Amino acid sequence: MRITDNQHRIAKEDFVAEYPNLSQALLDRTLDNLSREDSIFIFPNDLINSPDLDRDQKIFETVNQEIKTGNVIGFLGYGQERLTISSRFSDESNDHFLHYLLQKILNINLTSLDIGLSQEDKLYQLLIYLFPKYLQAALRKGLYKEYQRFFHNDSHVKGVLDVGMHLKKNVPFMGSIAYTTREFTYDNPLMQLIRHTIEYIKNQKGFGVLLDSNRENMTEITRVTSSYKLADRAKIIRMNKIKPIRHAYFREYRKLQELCLMILSREKHGLGPQAQKVHGILFDVAWLWEEYVYTLLPKGFIHPRNKEKKGGILIFSGGERKVYPDFYDRERKIVLDAKYKKLEFTEKGINREDLFQLISYSYILEAGKTWKAGLIFPSMEQSVNSEIGKLAGYGAQLKKWSIHIPQNASSYNEFCKMMENSAEIFKAIIDKEVGRK
């Protein structure tokens, strides 16, 4: 059974028959619930930093004995069951579209993508892409520190005597005494696990560049893990599996710990096939699409951040409540929303919810006759540049633009070239509409 994003008519009976355990674990459960209770990674870095994913959104939602999917793709596992959710722009053998978005947003080189890998293995490989984001989120809490017991054998006794070790090492007496100390240190199993993951990624072809944006953090982690030894990797993995982070304050470190274990253990669906939890990796494609569109817009556009409460527009004069369009530029007199929806064949050009959203933005910005407000969406059809209509009142012009997503590319390199061509067509359209500084 092939499952993609924004698929609305999956027969529930067939789905349950093919995925009995996963259907019981996933159907009608919210992303927030799954993220907290199961070993599921959501890029970008869980729900807190994802502007498009609602905590109450569901991966699979039941409607009249049919199942529909949303803007989430990735893979999930439960016991021996495996489920892949592909983008609707993928085919049976690849998901070039997902890889391309990640390449553009994370600035990584994927031209040497291993085409010999299965679809599942390619998605597993994407785990490495998540590491810098999860590391950055964890380090906002500071470097992780915990008590560790250290063994010493010298003449400067400052801890608890270790009689057994002393008799083993210091008979006859040579002037040294064996003792142990308990110290609050950064050089602990979790930080060692992170260090091993960093070293592993450095040695993966084409992935080392992922760490470039976090050079200062990498240097600091290297400094505090002075006892690092490559030969200790198996022991460090075992120690972290036995002793996972439990404290709620360090939830980000717990997620990072799970991710590191998945990367280093090279286990595709969490911590082993017998795990009685749902595990896997999910990508918020709506967020990826929005960030990609931003890379195509002329400089000067404001890109508000809803979850971070940055760049919003006041609704009430003298008030505090704000709205957050995806992009706007008062000087160019335009407001835009990136939508990862099927809008090619929407009746009357735009659905009611999106129409009211554009009207609201236009009204608050006092968008007059020289203003434009529009939607930008991906499409399998050729690029669209169509007018929805002029608003009564201020008179802003509503439009919608699509970016053509190529199909049937013979290789990833060819897909990239075709996408670059689509991007240039879109940029030319936007330049004609508003100009480029």
User: Cα dist. 285→43, 345, 400 in Å?
Assistant: 9, 20, 19
Give the pLDDT score at 45. 56
Question: Is the predicted pLDDT of residue 268 greater than 50, yes or no?
Answer: no
Contact 333, 361 (CB under 8 A): no
pLDDT digits (tens, 9 = 90+) for 290-333: 999 999 998 889 998 766 667 788 888 777 788 888 999 998 89
pLDDT at 175 over 90: no
Asked which of 18-32, 139-153, 266-280, 359-373 is least confident by mean pLDDT, the reply is 266-280
**First-to-last C-alpha distance (Å) of the chain:** 48
Q: Which of 238, 191, 241 is nearest to 218 (CA)?
A: 191
Question: Which pLDDT score is estimated for 69?
Answer: 92
In this prediction, residues 64-86 reach a mean pLDDT of 87
Three-state secondary structure readout of the chain = CCEECCCCCEEHHHHHHHCHHHHHHHCCCEHHHHHHHCEEEEECCCCCCCCCCCCCCECEEEECCEEEECCEEEEEEECCEEEEEECCCCCCCCCHHHHHHHHHHHCCCCCCCCCCCCHHHHHHHCHHHHHHHHHHHHHCCCCCCEEEEEEEEECCCCCEECHHHHHHHCCCCCCCEEEEEEEEECCCHHHHHHHHHHHHHHCCCCCHHHHHHHHHHHHHHHHHCCCCCHHHHHHHHHHHHHCCCCCHHHHHHHHHHHHHHHHHHCCCCCCCCCCCCCEEEEEEHHHHHHHHHHHHCCCCCECCECCCCECCEECCCCCCCEECCCEEECCCCEEEEECCCCCCCCHHHCCHHHHHHHHHHHHHCCCCCCCEEEEEEEECCCCCEEEEEECCCCCCEEEEEEEECCCCCCCHHHHHHHHHHHHHHHHHHHHHHHCCC
Higher pLDDT: 32 or 78? It is: 78
The answer to whether residue 85 scores a pLDDT higher than 80 is yes
Confidence at residue 196, expressed as pLDDT on a 0 to 100 scale:
94
Q: How sure is the predictor about 190, in pLDDT bands with cuts at 50, 70 and 90? A: very high
Question: Which stretch, 99-108, 134-143, 166-175, has highest mean pLDDT?
Answer: 134-143
- Which of 37, 89, 43 lies closest to 287 in space, CA to CA? 43
pLDDT digit string, tens, across residues 51-72:
445 566 788 999 988 999 988 8
Residue 251 to residue 281: CA distance in whole angstroms: 17
d(CA 44, CA 200): 22
% the chain with pLDDT above 70 = 84
For 311-350, give one letter per residue: b (16+ CB within 10 A) or e.
ebbeeeeeeeebebbbbbbeebbbbbbbbbbebeebeebb
pLDDT on residue 146: 85
Mean pLDDT along residues 267-273: 44
Q: What is the mean pLDDT of residues 79-94?
A: 84
Residues in Cβ contact with 116 at an 8 Å cutoff, skipping those fewer than 6 apart:
none
Cα 339 to Cα 180: distance, rounded to the nearest angstrom: 60
At 88, the amino acid letter reads R
Q: Domain residues of the chain, as ranges?
A: 3-142+189-286, 149-185, 297-434
Average pLDDT of the segment spanning 17-46: 79
Q: Is 275 exposed, middle or buried (0-12, 13-18, 19+ CB in 10 A)?
A: middle
Place of tokens 């947003």: 105
Residue 272 has pLDDT above 60, yes or no: no
Does residue 378 surpass a pLDDT of 90?
yes
Looking at per-residue confidence, does 273 or 77 come out higher? Answer: 77
Closest CA relative to residue 69, chosen from 147, 7, 115:
7
Query: Rounded to whole angstroms, how far apart are CA atoms 413 and 96?
Result: 9
The larger pLDDT score, comparing residue 130 to residue 223, is at 223
Distance CA 87, CA 3 (A): 9
pLDDT at residue 123 greater than cutoff 70: no
Question: How far apart (Å, rounded) are the C-alpha atoms in residues 267 and 391?
Answer: 54
Identify residue 59 by its one-letter amino acid code: I
pLDDT of residue 37: 63
- Model's pTM, two decimal places? 0.79
- Place 259 in a pLDDT band, splitting at 50, 70 and 90: confident
CA distance 8 to 18: 18
Cβ atoms of residues 131 and 213 within 8 Å: no
Cα(223)–Cα(232) distance, integer angstroms: 17
> Percent of the chain having pLDDT more than 90?
24
Structure confidence at residue 310 (pLDDT): 74
pLDDT band at 171, cuts 50/70/90?
confident
Is pLDDT above 50 for 49?
Answer: no
pLDDT at residue 237, as a whole number: 92
pLDDT classification of 117: cutoffs 50, 70, 90 = low
Q: Is the dihedral of CA 59, 326, 100, 45 positive or negative?
A: negative
Q: What is the pairing mode between strands 72-78 and 81-86?
A: antiparallel
CB 59 within 8 A of CB 317: no
Tokens 């008979």 sit on residue: 171
